[in-house]
């Protein structure tokens, strides 16, 4: 199995902010928890936390988010102005979609709010955790990508998820995948700062959710309807019934 390391990922990386510093751990409970501690210690913007194995990660709605060896689990620290908070999910999901396109030649789509699919199956999940103060957001963007499937995974998991290797029919280089992702995040972060409407337009055109019947959970409340449009703040507009 191809080994990840900070040195290999950083070598010759042409980015302005994202990936200026890469920190690698063989195994962690959660890259986002490591990232939040790094923020508290004053880590520079663009720092990337990457691990070979994530054992106690959490996804959206506090679902378990485990990353066995051979996949990708990383977190990126970004500190945009607070008015750009809602664009972070657009930035991260679009960067993943572009990376999958480039690395596999396959067409992925974004499922609102924070998943990336190939076909109808999930290949990536994203969790963003924020701390807002002094007009800026200190964001930890957690990204998990299925590069290969765990053969011991349950049938329910295999019915809903897929991997890059399975869909591409070949082994995808994880080093190249991470490096490509960091370049895409860096490029789109510049767009987020300079032209957020352009980022919104690119993101909304990649959404596979629009026109489909969806079920949205917010706390204890569940709402069903047809997804009609998304706002520039990332909000989903439903036609109920």
The per-residue pLDDT for range 1-13, each reduced to its tens digit, is 688 999 999 999 9
Residue 103 tokens read as 């690395």
Distance between CA atoms of residues 69 and 159, nearest Å:
21
CA 216 to chain CA centroid, Å, is 20
Mean pLDDT of the chain: 91
Distance between CA atoms of residues 141 and 151, nearest Å:
28
Give, as one character, the DSSP assignment of residue 226.
E
Superfamily of domain 6-208: Bira Bifunctional Protein; Domain 2 (3.30.930.10)
Residue 68 confidence class, pLDDT cut points 50, 70, 90: confident
- Within a 10 A sphere around the Cβ of 118, how many other Cβ atoms? 23
* Phi, psi (deg, nearest 5) at residue 99: -65, -45
- Predicted confidence at residue 38, as pLDDT, reads 97
Distance between CA atoms of residues 176 and 219, nearest Å:
38
The closest alpha carbon to 57, from 72, 42, 40, 41, belongs to 72
- Predicted confidence at residue 165, as pLDDT, reads 96
CA 112 to chain CA centroid, Å, is 12
Q: What are the residues whose beta carbons fall under 8 Å from the beta carbon of 9, sequence distance 6 or more?
A: 19, 22, 24, 48, 50, 175, 178, 179, 182
Distance between CA atoms of residues 161 and 176, nearest Å:
22
Considering Cα of 64, then 192, then 117, then 46, what sign does the dihedral take?
A: negative
Distance between CA atoms of residues 222 and 32, nearest Å:
27
Considering Cα of 188, then 192, then 195, then 201, what sign does the dihedral take?
A: positive
Q: What are the residues whose beta carbons fall under 8 Å from the beta carbon of 229, sequence distance 6 or more?
A: 210, 236, 237
More confident position, 217 or 207: 207
SS3 at position 168: helix
Distance between CA atoms of residues 31 and 239, nearest Å:
37
Q: How many helices (H) and strands (E) does the chain have?
A: 7, 12
Which of these ranges, 55-59, 77-81, 173-177, 219-223, has the smallest mean pLDDT? 55-59
Q: Where are the domains of the chain?
A: 6-208, 210-241
């Amino acid at each position: 199995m191809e080994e990840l390391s900070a040195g290999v990922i950083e070598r010759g990386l042409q980015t302005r902010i994202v990936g200026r510093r890469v920190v690698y751990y063989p195994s962690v409970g959660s890259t986002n928890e490591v990232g939040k501690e790094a923020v508290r210690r004053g880590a520079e913007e663009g720092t990337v936390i990457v691990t070979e194995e994530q054992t106690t990660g959490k996804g959206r709605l506090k679902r378990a988010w485990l990353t066995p060896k051979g996949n990708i689990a990383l977190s990126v620290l970004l500190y945009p102005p607070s008015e750009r908070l809602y664009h972070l999910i657009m930035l991260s999901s679009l960067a993943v979609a572009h990376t999958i396109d480039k690395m596999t030649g396959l067409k992925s789509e974004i499922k609102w709010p924070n998943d990336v699919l190939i076909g109808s199956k999930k290949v990536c999940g994203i969790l963003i955790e924020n701390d807002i103060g002094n007009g800026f957001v200190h964001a930890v963007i957690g990204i998990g990508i299925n590069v290969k499937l765990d053969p011991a995974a349950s049938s329910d998991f295999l019915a809903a998820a897929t991997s890059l290797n399975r869909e591409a029919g070949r082994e995808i280089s994880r080093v190249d995948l991470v490096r490509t992702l960091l370049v895409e995040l860096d490029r789109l972060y510049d767009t987020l700062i300079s032209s957020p409407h352009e980022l919104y337009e690119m993101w909304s055109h990649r959404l596979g959710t629009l026109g489909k019947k969806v079920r949205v959970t917010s706390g204890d409340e569940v709402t069903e309807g047809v997804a009609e449009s998304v706002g520039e703040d990332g909000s989903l507009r439903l036609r109920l019934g």
